[in-house]
């Protein structure tokens, strides 16, 4: 009986000592957490897509709390989340322009020529190891194997008739597809933008016309026609400056290849 009492006292004393030690250590080595960071994290959607440039929502919340990132840095949450975070941070939110991913290619199975029948691994990034870079004659267009589809966390991009198509309503502009495309055909553009060049070819006219019905041949008619100087042709392909473009449609009307839509 005495042995049991002694053992109980020892165990209780040891537990008390450990408890006191941990309590003191917890206070001494405690890491201060900004309450605003916690509040900001609660506002973020929690997709952890990395579209903001940080390692998930926790990383973004910490950056916003420290003033290293803007309140509207989350592409998924958009303006509503940005406003809520700005209120937490006591800042005035500047107006943001919603963006969406856009695939610069309209060369589907009906408009492009195929040079051979391909059977193998269906992955765009693997095409770098295939002679010719894929079955399509155009070496600049969409390969259509869906590496961007696999990368999208919001099911906003799909392969339709051999090329990638973006669902504007589902897209959150996280940029995952932009990073994944080995031919750099995807870019983020303003959601409201209507006029777009659906080609990224750098081939000369004869090469383009032989391989695609809607490829840009760099004729510069669009560049000469644009009243706002928003269209320029470089590397035999038209490019639109979305800040200057007013969607007047003048460039589309004069394009002989329907490369501007």
Which residues have CB under 8 Å from 227's CB, separation 6+? 248, 250
Q: What is the CATH number of domain 98-192?
A: 3.30.70.20
pLDDT tens-digit series, residues 207-237: 999 999 999 999 999 999 999 999 999 999 9
The dihedral region occupied by 34, where left means phi > 0, alpha psi between -120 and 50, and beta the remainder, is beta
- Please report the pLDDT score of residue 150 as a whole number: 94
Pairing of strands 163-166, 157-160: antiparallel
What ranges make up the beta strands (E) of the chain?
99-103, 157-160, 163-166, 186-190, 231-234, 237-240
Domain 35-89, classified CATH 1.10.15.40, yes or no = yes
Size of the chain in residues: 261
- 2.160.10.10, 3.30.70.20, 3.40.50.300, 3.40.640.10: which CATH number matches 194-261? 3.30.70.20
- Please report the pLDDT score of residue 25 as a whole number: 66
Pick from 154, 120, 158, 153: which is nearest to 142 by CA? 158
pLDDT exceeds 80 at position 180: yes
pLDDT tens-digit series, residues 80-139: 888 888 888 888 776 778 899 999 999 998 999 888 787 778 888 888 777 767 788 898
Which residues have CB under 8 Å from 198's CB, separation 6+? 104, 105, 106, 214, 259, 260, 261
Q: Where in the chain is the domain with CATH 3.30.70.20?
A: 98-192, 194-261
Q: Where in the chain is the domain with CATH 1.10.15.40?
A: 35-89
Computed over every residue of the chain, the mean pLDDT equals: 87
The larger pLDDT score, comparing residue 104 to residue 65, is at 104
């Amino acid at each position: 009986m005495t042995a049991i009492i002694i053992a109980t006292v020892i165990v209780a004393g040891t537990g008390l000592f450990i408890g006191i030690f941990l309590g003191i250590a917890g206070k001494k080595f405690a890491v201060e957490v900004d309450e605003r960071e916690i509040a900001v994290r609660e506002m973020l959607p929690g997709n952890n897509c990395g579209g903001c440039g940080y390692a998930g929502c926790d990383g973004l919340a910490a950056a916003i709390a420290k003033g290293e990132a803007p309140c509207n840095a989350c592409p998924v949450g958009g303006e509503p989340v940005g406003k809520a975070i700005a209120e937490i941070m006591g800042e005035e939110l500047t107006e943001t322009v919603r963006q969406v991913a856009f695939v610069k290619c309209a060369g589907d199975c009906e408009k492009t020529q195929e040079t051979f029948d391909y059977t193998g691994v269906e992955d765009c990034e693997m095409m770098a190891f295939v002679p010719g870079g894929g079955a399509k004659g155009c070496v600049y267009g969409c390969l259509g194997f869906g590496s961007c589809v696999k990368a999208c966390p919001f099911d906003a991009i799909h392969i339709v008739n051999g090329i990638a198509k973006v669902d504007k309503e589902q897209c959150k502009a996280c940029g995952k597809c932009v990073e994944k495309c080995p031919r750099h055909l995807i870019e983020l553009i303003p959601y409201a933008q209507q006029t777009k060049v659906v080609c990224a070819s750098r081939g000369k006219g004869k090469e383009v016309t032989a391989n695609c019905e809607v490829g840009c041949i760099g004729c510069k008619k669009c560049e000469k026609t644009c009243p706002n100087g928003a269209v320029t042709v470089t590397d035999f392909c038209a490019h639109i400056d979305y800040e200057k473009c007013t969607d007047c449609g003048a460039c589309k009307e004069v394009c002989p290849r329907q490369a501007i839509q």
